[in-house]
Amino acid sequence: MTGDDALALHGVRTALPRERVHLLVPSKRFVRSSASVFVERTPIPPRPVLRDGLLTAPLARAAVDAARRINSRALVTALFAEVVFHKGVRLDELNTELVMGKWRGTTLCQEVLHDIGARIRSGVSSLARDLVLRAGLPPPRWNVPVDDAQGNPLGTVTGTWDDAKLAWDVHAFDFDPAPASYPTALKRGSRLAATGLLVLHTPATQLRSNPEGVINELTAAFAQSCPST
């Protein structure tokens, strides 16, 4: 079972009841839909989990299967926002399900994931700026683009203090919609270190859950990297 019925079993409040239960079967099996059951053949059936005695699709797959049958941006946004912010599903999990499924008509889902990711990054940026101010440090260059040795972009680092030879990379891997974000961040850190910068990596979740700890790490890294005067 997948889609809205599976979401309801997972405790998702925004799940919309439908007239037919959505079932997934392997693509090699030929099972007909009926008035009460919508059967969908899939080349990549998910490993089911047990919810209230019923085999259901994992939360990320159930959310994607439900969302791709919704035409309203507001409803898709509400669904994805709930499973991400309240149920702990990562954006990269949702994105992977969309990419691996190779379904048609998933543009809206991709756009909503991008919007949620942008919202998260904006919030992270705001928190980072506030902590630099509270730490009493000079403002860095924000959102500095980083390339590899061949000139290929590796994304942006949160901030760099060029005179102090310090780079701060706040990463939101739990929410980043790009599945390759973690290894890319490691490459970015290696590239920055190769230029002589000390790189401080901070999980985005720490900005809110442990701001004083982040401030202490920032000031310590700044003192370590800043040239003696």
In tens, the pLDDT along 173-227 reads 656 555 556 677 778 888 888 888 899 988 888 888 899 999 999 999 999 887 6
User: Are the beta carbons of 147 and 153 closer than 8 angstroms?
Assistant: yes
Tell me the mean pLDDT in the region 57-80.
Answer: 94
> pTM here?
0.73
CA distances, 76 to each of 20, 32, 108 (Å): 19, 28, 8
Given a contact cutoff of 8 angstroms between Cβ atoms, the answer to whether 181 and 96 are in contact is no
Same domain membership, residue 17 and residue 96: yes
CATH number where 167 lies: 3.40.960.10
Count of domains for the chain: 2
Task: Give percent helix, percent strand, percent coil of the chain, each to the nearest 5.
Answer: 45, 20, 35
For 75-108, the pLDDT digits (tens) are 999 999 999 888 888 888 898 888 887 787 789 9
- pLDDT(4) > 60: yes
Looking at residue 181, its pLDDT comes to 62
Q: What range defines the domain where residue 163 resides?
A: 122-225
| pLDDT-above-70 percentage for the chain | 94
Q: Are residues 37 and 100 in the same domain?
A: yes
pLDDT of residue 8 exceeding 90, the answer is yes
- The residue among 112 and 103 whose pLDDT is bigger is 112
Are 204 and 128 within one domain? yes
Inside any domain, residue 116: no
Do 15 and 95 belong together in one domain?
yes
42 within domain boundaries: yes
Residues 127 and 219 both lie in one domain: yes
Res 229: pLDDT: 47
- d(CA 106, CA 196) in angstroms, rounded, equals 43
pLDDT of residue 147: 84
10 and 92 belong to one structural domain? yes
Of all helices (H) and strands (E), which one includes residue 126?
helix 107-135
Q: What would the pLDDT profile of 155-172 be if each residue is shown by its tens digit?
A: 788 999 988 999 999 887
| pLDDT value of position 10 | 95
Domain annotation covers residue 75: yes
* Domain annotation covers residue 111: no
Instruction: Find, among 134, 152, 132, the residue nearest to 142 by Cα.
Output: 132
Taking residues 19-40, what's their average pLDDT? 85
